[in-house]
Amino acid sequence: MTRPLPTAMPGQPSRAPASAGLVLFALAIGAFAIGTTEFATMSLLPYFAQDLGIDAPTAGHVISAYALGVVVGAPLLTVLAARVARRTLLIALMGTFALFNGLCALAPSYHALLVLRFLSGLPHGAYFGIGSLVAVSLVPHSKRNQAVGRMFLGLTVATIVGVPFANWLGHALSWRWGFGLVSVSGLVTMALVARLAPPSPPEPGASPWQELGALKHLQVWLTLATGAIGFGGLFAVYTYLADVLLQVTHVSPDTIPFVLALFGIGLTLSNIIMPWLADRALMPTAAGLLLWSAAATALFPFVAGHLWALSIDVFFIAFAGSLGTILQTRLMDVAQHAQGLAAALNHSAFNFANALGPLLGGLAIAGGYGWTSPGWVGTALALGGFAILMISVYVDRSRRARTVAQA
């Protein structure tokens, strides 16, 4: 059943609760801000690399720094804030996010930007984790993938609107304006969440120790590993897409935002369609997305020299992007009473992938394998994630077989 929205606390003025759709919209604006900073930084890489006097593989470390911030911040902040009301925590997380992205716009050097990107990433995973718990609390159990998917639409719309606009700002004015845009979006999210989100007190008995209980479940670790490895393929290609368009496809900088928008359209359609399928068959949907990603990234080296073929393949690669939404609800299923940490760790896993993909892709480029070599890296990572998912399926079946045998 749908859980009722909390009413006003005693002593507070009465206020009609916002509809589930409006709350999901507020959460999606935060996802838009996060999606813009996460993906726009990749598209702005050629601009800040030139401005700060570093090469593209070195600039890729800035992206990895943000991802590592997510990896560290998601479990740390979720566990420490286990007893904090969810709405209050969401506002604090987005305020921290807005602050450090604003400071990124003022970074005077590569090393300063590296540190600030790490700090900017700290609230990312906790926001998505706590936001997902709020989202699923508003809808029937049978529609939880769709609720999480609607929140994640903010991230995917960012790849259609926010990322191309930030890239255009980087080309027309300065890469610093892209981070300024993200900071303003974070401030807007704070206001919307404060106005629309229900108070959402923490679950009875919530504590750091209860949240840490998620770590004792094997299926939590297998699900995290699936995302950490399997999603790296998408990031390996996307990180160097702007450079491939300039160096291999030989398009003008003005063309890059249109290709990035196609990527965003693929992500958005995926997050509309695939959660609906996942509410009916979660694990087969996840497996299909990983195989799709492996095939699409394998095509990348062959089509990189032709704009239209490359654009279609970029759309195909992006269509695997709803894997994050689906694994989010998978983690809620297997974490039992520690759903907050498990949901946040999903974003640690995906940003480990965000660090691993660019790192391995950069090593392939630096090793002389060419600008298109991240495509092969992406295929290997997607197949690795698929293999881990199959282990998870095998463990589930073995456990069910033992339960039936003991009955």
> Does 296 score more than 60 pLDDT?
yes
Query: Each residue of 308-347: pLDDT tens digit?
Result: 999 999 999 998 888 888 888 888 777 766 666 777 788 7
Give the residue-averaged pLDDT of 153-165: 80
Residue 5 falls inside a structural domain: no
The span from the CA of 39 to the CA of 256, in Å, is: 13
Instruction: Find the range with the poorest average confidence among 167-171, 295-299, 392-396.
Output: 167-171
Residue 89 lies in a domain: yes
pLDDT for 173 equals 81
For the cut 60, the answer to whether the pLDDT of residue 82 exceeds it is yes
SS (H, E, C) 144-202: HHHHHHHHHHHHHHHHHHHHHHHHHHHHHCCHHHHHHHHHHHHHHHHHHHHHHCCCCCC
Query: How many domains, the chain?
Result: 1
Q: What is the largest CA-CA distance in the chain?
A: 68
Give the highest mean pLDDT range of 20-24, 160-164, 307-311, 359-363: 307-311
pLDDT at 225: 92
CATH number where 78 lies: 1.20.1250.20
H helices, E strands: number in the chain: 18, 0
Band the pLDDT of 156: cuts 50, 70, 90. Answer: confident
In a domain, 14, yes or no: no
Top-confidence range, 82-86, 186-190, 260-264, 270-274 = 186-190
Is 405 contained in some domain?
no
Residue 281 predicted with pLDDT over 70: yes
Residue that wins the pLDDT comparison between 206 and 148: 148
Burial 123-148 (b: 16+ CB within 10 A, else e): bbbbbbbbbbbbbbbbbeeebbbbbb
pLDDT of residue 6: 43
Question: Mean pLDDT lowest for which of 75-89, 197-211, 273-287, 350-364?
Answer: 197-211
**Distance (Å, rounded) from C-alpha 384 to C-alpha 382?**
5
For residue 16, pLDDT over 60 is answered with no
Rounded Cα–Cα distance for residues 82 and 205 (Å):
10
Element housing 261 (H / E)? helix 256-278
Q: What is the DSSP letter of 4?
A: P
Q: Which residues contact 186 (CB under 8 A, 6 or more apart)?
A: 30, 33, 94, 95, 97, 98, 101
C-alpha–C-alpha distance, residues 156 and 259, integer Å: 14
pLDDT score for 14? 42
Q: Is residue 299 part of a domain?
A: yes
Burial degree of 254 (CB within 10 A; 0-12, 13-18, 19+): exposed
Determine the average pLDDT of the residues in 38-62. Answer: 77
Domain region containing 275? 20-399
User: Which has the higher per-residue pLDDT, 189 or 144?
Assistant: 189
Structure token pair of residue 262: 């196609």
What ranges in 319-373 are assigned the alpha helix state H?
A: 323-334, 339-364
Which of 74-78, 232-236, 341-345, 396-400 has the highest mean predicted lDDT (pLDDT)? 232-236
Whether residue 11 lies inside any domain: the answer is no
Confidence of residue 157 (pLDDT cuts 50, 70, 90): confident
Q: Which residue has the tokens 């059943």?
A: 1
CA torsion through residues 7, 9, 10, 13, sign: negative
Has residue 3 been placed in a domain?
A: no
Rounded mean pLDDT, 98-126:
89
Q: What is the pLDDT of residue 11?
A: 40
Summarize the confidence of residues 143-170 as an average pLDDT: 79
The SS3 call for residue 109 is: coil
Confidence at 376, pLDDT banded by 50, 70, 90: very high
Band (pLDDT 50/70/90 cuts) for residue 303 is very high
| Residue-level pLDDT at 240 | 87
Q: How far apart are CA 159 and CA 153, in angstroms?
A: 10
Q: Tell me if 109 is assigned to some domain.
A: yes
SS3 content of the chain, % helix, strand, coil (to 5): 80, 0, 20
- Average pLDDT over the chain, rounded to an integer: 82
**Average pLDDT of the segment spanning 125-130:** 84
- pTM beyond 0.85: the answer is no
Cβ proximity of 341 and 78 under 8 Å: yes
Q: What per-residue confidence (pLDDT) applies to 387?
A: 95
Element spanning 397, H or E: helix 374-406
188-231: pLDDT as tens digits: 998 998 888 777 666 665 556 556 655 677 888 999 999 999 98
C-alpha span between 357 and 361 (Å, rounded) = 6
Separation of alpha carbons 28 and 23, rounded Å: 9
Percent above pLDDT 70 for the chain:
90
- What percentage of the chain exceeds 90 in pLDDT? 18
pLDDT, position 124: 87
Check if the beta carbon of residue 160 is closer than 8 Å to that of residue 152: no
